[in-house]
Amino acid sequence: MPKLGVDRDFFREYGRLDKPLQDRITEVFVKFEAATHTGIHLEKIRDARNPRFRSIRIDQFHRGIVLAPETGDAYTLLTVLPHDDAYTWTRRRDLSVNRATGGIEVRDESWIEENLPVLQETAQTTPARLFEGINDSDLIRLGIDEQTRTFARTLTDEAQLEAALGMLPETQGQVLIGLASGLTPDEVWSDLGAAIVDKPYDTDDLDAAVARSTDRIVLVDGPDDLMAIFAHPFALWRIYLHPTQQAVVDADFRGPARVTGGPGTGKTVVALHRAYRLAQKPDASVLVTTFTSTLTDSLLAGVKLLSTSAEALARIDVQHVDKLAHRVFRDEHGAPNLLADSEENGLWDSIIDRLDLPFTAAFLSAEWRNVALAQRVSTAAAYLSAKRTGRGRRLGANQKAQVWQALWEFESALRERGLWTHETVCREATRLLEDCDDKPYRHVVVDEAQDLSPEQWRLIRAAAPEGPDDMFIAGDTHQRIYDSRVSLREIGIKVTGRSSRLNLNYRTTAEILGWSLQLLAGERIDDMDGQLDSIAGCRSAVHGMPPTAKGLAAQSDEIGYVADTVQAWIDSGVTPGEIGIATRAKWLGSKVQDELFRRGVPVRSLAKAKGDTDSVAIGTMHAMKGLEFRCVAVTGVSARQVPAAAAITAVEDDAQTHHRDMQRERCVLFVACTRAREDLLVTWSEEPSPFLVPLV
């Protein structure tokens, strides 16, 4: 029986095809797998660059291109294209073996040959070359072959290299990008997750290279496996991890460890694989947790997709961090009597009146959460010496005494009335867990860690005993969308020496990522461990259309424009479930939802997560956290809505808090824009948001 491998790049293309064509491809290759040699109808291709390229009929209009083995029976599906394009593909492209990694690479040889003379001519009149500081021996050591080297030597700027990326052999293109961005040859290589080999691989042996290319060629283990892979074409992460990702999944850590990296670099993927790996041990119990409900649902779906073992799956508990707190609390005390937000404001106001204090309810509430609860302050002396970093407004000793009196009265009132807030429930649950010797979990995996509050961190810390692989933390402080700022060290979680960074973005095209990154240009963002973080190295190897930024005269025009775009996406073959719409405020989302509903487009609100998933998802920018869609419209990015006035402290009241609030609002917009895989539309009416002004 022939063995089938599928080129990883094909899955992305497959995901975009119409359903009937997808079904037909699956049908052909399921038969291919089951067929004997004589039954396979593969045709040789005249004028193909590689004599081992074969075509296979998919339907009247489409052909698959397959690499036939020199000997043996391992075939590799490279692509499926309309009839003429498929043959052109084979006449332009060739395969080669990377002499440093031994892996297989595809290049558009015709494109390189056609463009080389033009580039050479331009280079003659330009004094500086892009790679003049790198010598040939380094390029050769990093696997750059003669044709690519000749090409690279003509380049004068990074834009030329970017334009050539899809045409150059993939790994070599990545090496050149790394070198062009200023990394040393060794840094480039380790970033690729590869080790430079002493002896070059045999570049003539394609079959051996295919067998070695486990990071590129997905080997199919029978028809069921093929159907399962094709059923989730965008979930390639289940079967293929980049070596840098795999190394983090497989590492044994002596204590808490974490992974950081820009949006879409696979932090969640690594966290899920790690949870699943830890759950393989018979005595394991793994908590996977985060802070939003939509993300919790999506983590649960990911865990299920990944788990081939029911036993391991049963050892993983995916829980929203607040639900965990409530569950622990309820098991001991029964359901808490919760104080509603409006009642909380009333309570602060009554204390302010009674003590005749010069503070607002909002100020006291933030002081209680960000200082008292965050630092576990329970006495006046502790409050007087507590750090108030980030609180902006300075307080003298007398004012501090007044504030403490108010905080104390607030807590006393809660106690007397038997009332709880989510924070005090979390604090009590933490106390219960800290006091208990038999912890509910052995391992904790946290996603979107940048947004957890200190109390939530303490709860999670207390949920598993300290020890090897006890905590795994995935997060990106550039995507912080709430007010929590935590120093892991201060909470007692030490990750120094056990931190890894991912740089390659798998979700977003280079165009969308580059555009979105400009939203955060110049912002200084901490790394939760006492240093500044940077996502400067974050990049994507996939190219596409630049984002569309569109301003309209009035809001009704804007809503109409968004609805038209959604319809155009659907008409072009994108399913409604692959479209997401983000707004800063809920009310605008409702208006867009009504308009789409009126036009008969299936639509659902992310706030009511359950429901038909094959519908356009509408949610706030906050609800988009951790999710992704093929096409995303970020709507209402006007001066009046972004930043949201209610989320910004006036600069006159407190300049430091004002700056923090503004940075957080930028991050919220950044998060929304980086949810798009292929197409991003950003709209506003009247004036654009100040965050957009430098970009439009």
Ligand X SMILES: Nc1ncnc2c1ncn2[C@@H]1O[C@H](COP(=O)(O)OP(=O)(O)OP(=O)(O)O)[C@@H](O)[C@H]1O
Binding positions for ATP are 261-268
Closest C-alpha to 268, from 293, 248, 282, 243? 248
Task: Assess 101 for contact with ligand X (CB under 6 A).
Answer: no
CA torsion sign for 5, 11, 14, 19 is positive
Min dist. Cβ of residue 58 to ligand X (A)? 24
- HSE value, Cβ hemisphere, 13 Å, CA-based, for 437: 0
Nearest residue (CB) to ligand X, 256 versus 264: 264
Min dist. Cβ of residue 692 to ligand X (A)? 20
| ∠ CA 580-582-586, rounded to 5° | 125
Closest C-alpha to 349, from 418, 357, 423? 357
Q: Give binding residues as ranges.
A: 261-268
Using the contact rule CB under 6 A, the part of the chain among 51-59, 141-149, 257-265, 640-648 near ligand X is 257-265
Task: Assess 266 for contact with ligand X (CB under 6 A).
Answer: yes
Task: Assess 294 for contact with ligand X (CB under 6 A).
Answer: no
Backbone angles phi, psi at 292, to 5 degrees: -120, 155
Using the contact rule CB under 6 A, the part of the chain among 108-116, 260-268, 362-370, 480-488 near ligand X is 260-268
Task: Assess 506 for contact with ligand X (CB under 6 A).
Answer: yes
Nearest residue (CB) to ligand X, 263 versus 643: 263
Using the contact rule CB under 6 A, the part of the chain among 233-241, 354-362, 568-576, 656-664 near ligand X is 233-241
Task: Assess 298 for contact with ligand X (CB under 6 A).
Answer: no
**Among the listed residues 63, 507, 539, 550, the single contact to ligand X using CB under 6 A:** 507
Question: Cα–Cα distances in Å, from 626 out to 31, 264, 691?
Answer: 38, 9, 22
Classify residue 143 by its DSSP letter. T
Task: Assess 555 for contact with ligand X (CB under 6 A).
Answer: no
Task: Assess 267 for contact with ligand X (CB under 6 A).
Answer: yes
Nearest residue (CB) to ligand X, 558 versus 628: 628
**Helix segments in 473-615, DSSP class H:** 488-491, 510-517, 555-571, 586-598
Scanning residues 611 to 670, which ones bind ligand X (CB under 6 A)?
626, 628
Using the contact rule CB under 6 A, the part of the chain among 200-208, 259-267, 347-355, 411-419 near ligand X is 259-267
**Can you tell me the distance from the alpha carbon of 491 to that of 255, in angstroms, rounded to the nearest whole number?**
14
Scanning residues 471 to 500, which ones bind ligand X (CB under 6 A)?
476, 479
Nearest residue (CB) to ligand X, 503 versus 663: 503
Task: List 631's β-bridge partners, or say none.
Answer: 579, 679
Interface with ligand X (CB under 6 A), residue total: 23
Nearest residue (CB) to ligand X, 507 versus 604: 507
Task: Assess 145 for contact with ligand X (CB under 6 A).
Answer: no
**Can you tell me the distance from the alpha carbon of 694 to that of 520, in angstroms, rounded to the nearest whole number?**
11
Using the contact rule CB under 6 A, the part of the chain among 50-58, 62-70, 231-239, 592-600 near ligand X is 231-239
- Which two tokens mark 231? 């059923």
**Helix segments in 279-355, DSSP class H:** 293-306, 310-314, 321-333, 341-355
**Among the listed residues 2, 261, 576, 580, the single contact to ligand X using CB under 6 A:** 261
- HSE value, Cβ hemisphere, 13 Å, CA-based, for 215: 16
Min dist. Cβ of residue 547 to ligand X (A)? 16
Min dist. Cβ of residue 318 to ligand X (A)? 15
Nearest residue (CB) to ligand X, 479 versus 657: 479
Question: Cα–Cα distances in Å, from 691 out to 341, 679, 682?
Answer: 31, 20, 12
Task: Assess 383 for contact with ligand X (CB under 6 A).
Answer: no
Using the contact rule CB under 6 A, the part of the chain among 16-24, 186-194, 232-240, 389-397 near ligand X is 232-240
Min dist. Cβ of residue 630 to ligand X (A)? 10
Other CB atoms within a 10 A radius of the CB of residue 568 amount to 12
Task: Assess 276 for contact with ligand X (CB under 6 A).
Answer: no
SS3 content of the chain, % helix, strand, coil (to 5): 45, 15, 35
**Can you tell me the distance from the alpha carbon of 462 to that of 457, in angstroms, rounded to the nearest whole number?**
9
Closest C-alpha to 12, from 666, 578, 661, 445? 578
Nearest residue (CB) to ligand X, 591 versus 625: 625
Min dist. Cβ of residue 247 to ligand X (A)? 12
Task: Assess 111 for contact with ligand X (CB under 6 A).
Answer: no
3-state secondary structure of 552: strand
Question: Cα–Cα distances in Å, from 358 out to 16, 402, 403, 682?
Answer: 60, 9, 10, 43
**Can you tell me the distance from the alpha carbon of 92 to that of 107, in angstroms, rounded to the nearest whole number?**
8
Cα-only R_g, the chain: 28
Nearest residue (CB) to ligand X, 261 versus 619: 261
Scanning residues 673 to 692, which ones bind ligand X (CB under 6 A)?
674
Nearest residue (CB) to ligand X, 322 versus 476: 476
Q: Footprint of ligand X on this chain (CB under 6 A)?
A: 234-237, 240-242, 245, 261, 263-269, 476, 479, 506-507, 626, 628, 674
